[in-house]
Amino acid sequence: MTLWDTLLRIAPELILAIGATDLLLVAAFRPGAAGYRFISWSAVALLGLAALSLLGPAGNGGAIFGGQFIADPFATFAKLLIYFASAIAIIIAGRHFERDGQLRGEYPVLILLSAIGMSIMVSAADFLMLYIGLELQSLAAYVLASFARKDGRSAEAGLKYFVLGALASGILLYGMSLLYGFSGTTSFAGVAEAMGDGLSAGEMFGLVFVLAGLAFKISAVPFHMWTPDVYEGAPTPVTAFFASAPKVAALALTTRVVISAMGPSGSAWQQIIIFMALASIVLGAVAAINQPNIKRLLAYSSINNVGFALIGLAAGTAEGVAALMSYLFIYIMMTVGSFVCVLQMKDKDGNPVETIASLAGLSRSRPGLAAAFAIFMFSLAGIPPLFGFWAKFLVFDAAVGAGLTPLAAIGIAASVIGAFYYLKIIKTIYFDAPAEGFAPARSAIDYGIITACAAVIVFGYLLNPWLGQASAAAAASLF
């Protein structure tokens, strides 16, 4: 394999890395609104370019760097979602930061750096590569969480995220070192081979620690504690970013680790995943019921959703992984849509408001926005005919196919609890007497994004053949 071949296989990462450093220079020399606009649209263009480069060998070129990095359809599927969500996070941020006078060119650059980290995460085939990607993503995310530096909550969120994130990284690193110590290699394939002849106690400990560290990154119960605080404290565009792209990256990464590296250990990881799935579903549903803050509520909702996605992983079959990938696609659409709706919540003076109560009577003052909100909420609750139902359908179908019918039954019964708080939002929007109205809409782009996401959620079933094929191809590359 020539150098050129290798470079082509990491084209998206290269594009983003070179672009990000260049844009950082631009940010240093051209502060202000015009510079910000240039940087943010350039960043979006770079993400688009990176996505385009996946058409080449980067999309399905196979392993490079001695098997440390792999470009396969699984990674491609995840990368497309990551780039899309990152681009949205950049596009929606401008108007939010403009008002606070925090329009700084570092924001798009940090998102780009985070996107590179995520790209590496989903392509990693070696624990060290995994760690590098994870840390790059996390470090950028810590800064993003405290991006509104004059806001105490934002600073608190960043600090909390950093301390707990560092702890999780430590746990993960410890698990990796155990796996290395007992199997003599850091590559996924090597670990899988070592586990093939039965799970030694050391490997078992390594597996548990690695999964605990990853659970933190996907905010699965019992490692979810940081999520509501960080989501609430971080600026809303950053929260939208946290709830979308890193979730995809971390879930895809977990899937690859579990299937490629721990596959032979069978029930050992499956037990852990099943527990995390059910615990996340139940806690994500119950804890959200009394949340007055919409961002906090959506944080719990994301925990809840991770639980459902993990049911697909718990099945441990190609079908289950395909279901998980479809779930992520649909989840991204719902999450992006609902967070852009949240971004529209501004009082008359343009200050962002976050209480659910302020949504009261939205259906009278802003019928379009209200309808979109309702669509996303019903979809998150998994009510057909919206697309969110299909996401749950697929993971439960996979679980039933893998003989985990009781798991599917418990999971779906618990989803009814979750339906309650989504209904509460719809109730506030549609049934309650109007509260003080929001500031009028200003952004056609935001509305475009909301409309596009809502259209996917409503007409998504027509995408089924394509989505099924793409996710099946992605899953097949892991088996």
Partner 1 sequence: MSQSFPILSLMLAVPMIGAIACLFVSAQSARWIALGATLIDLLLGAILWLSFDLAPGAAEWQFQEYAPIFGKFAWALGIDGISLMLIALTVFLMPICIGASWEAIKDRVGEYMAAFLFMEVLMIGVFAAQDIFLFYIFFEAGLIPMYLIIGIWGGADRIYASYKFFLYTLLGSVLMLIAMLWMVREAGTTAIPALMVYDFPVQAQTWLWLAFFASFAVKMPMWPVHTWLPDAHVQAPTAGSVILAGVLLKMGGYGFIRFSLPMFPDASAEFTWLVWGLSMVAVVYTSLVALVQQDMKKLIAYSSVAHMAIVTVGLFAFNQQGLEGAMMVMLGHGLVSGALFLCVGVIYDRLHTREIDRYGGLAINMPKYALLFMLFTMASVGLPGTSNFVGELLALMGIYQASSWVALVCTTGIILGAAYMLYLYRRVVFGDLTKDDVKAMPDLSKRELALLTPIALAVLWMGVYPESFLAPMRGNVASIVARLEPARPEGDAKLALGKAEDTAARADHAEGAH
Rule CB under 8 A: say whether 67 interacts with partner 1.
no
Rule CB under 8 A: say whether 423 interacts with partner 1.
yes
Extract the tokens encoding 249: 């990256």
Rule CB under 8 A: say whether 389 interacts with partner 1.
yes
Rule CB under 8 A: say whether 69 interacts with partner 1.
no
**347-376 positions binding partner 1, by CB under 8 A:** 363-364, 367
Q: Which is nearer to partner 1, 350 or 367 (CB)?
A: 367
370, 362 contact by CB (below 8 A): yes
CB of 364 to partner 1, least distance (A): 8
Q: Which DSSP letter does residue 105 get?
A: T
What is the distance of C-alpha 34 from the center of its chain?
A: 30
Rule CB under 8 A: say whether 384 interacts with partner 1.
yes
Q: Which of 22, 189, 275, 427 binds partner 1 (CB under 8 A)?
A: 427
Cβ-based neighbour number of residue 220 at 10 Å: 30
* Side chain identity, residue 98: E
Q: Which is nearer to partner 1, 34 or 413 (CB)?
A: 413
CB of 358 to partner 1, least distance (A): 18
Q: Which is nearer to partner 1, 262 or 278 (CB)?
A: 278
CB of 110 to partner 1, least distance (A): 38
Rule CB under 8 A: say whether 467 interacts with partner 1.
yes
Q: Tell me how far apart the alpha carbons of residues 307 and 311 are, in angstroms, rounded to a whole number.
A: 7
103, 148 contact by CB (below 8 A): no
CB of 295 to partner 1, least distance (A): 24
Q: Which DSSP letter does residue 63 get?
A: E
* Side chain identity, residue 109: V
Q: Tell me how far apart the alpha carbons of residues 315 and 58 are, in angstroms, rounded to a whole number.
A: 29
Q: Which is nearer to partner 1, 51 or 323 (CB)?
A: 323
In 152-200, alpha helices (H): 152-183, 188-196
In 184-265, alpha helices (H): 188-196, 201-218, 226-233, 236-256
Among the listed residues 310, 205, 173, 320, the one whose alpha carbon sits nearest the alpha carbon of residue 250? 310
Cβ-based neighbour number of residue 38 at 10 Å: 16
SS3 435: coil
Extract the tokens encoding 250: 């971390």
Select from 105-113, 253-261, 348-356, 465-473 the region that touches partner 1 (CB under 8 A).
Answer: 465-473
Q: Which of 21, 271, 351, 464 binds partner 1 (CB under 8 A)?
A: 464
CB of 430 to partner 1, least distance (A): 6
Rule CB under 8 A: say whether 447 interacts with partner 1.
no
Q: Which of 163, 357, 409, 441 binds partner 1 (CB under 8 A)?
A: 409
* Side chain identity, residue 50: A
Q: Which of 55, 163, 357, 416 binds partner 1 (CB under 8 A)?
A: 416
48, 54 contact by CB (below 8 A): no
CB of 327 to partner 1, least distance (A): 14
Task: Note the residues at the interface with partner 1 (CB under 8 A).
Answer: 363-364, 367, 378, 383-385, 389, 393-394, 396-397, 400-401, 405, 408-409, 412-413, 415-416, 419-420, 423, 426-427, 430-431, 461-462, 464-465, 467-468
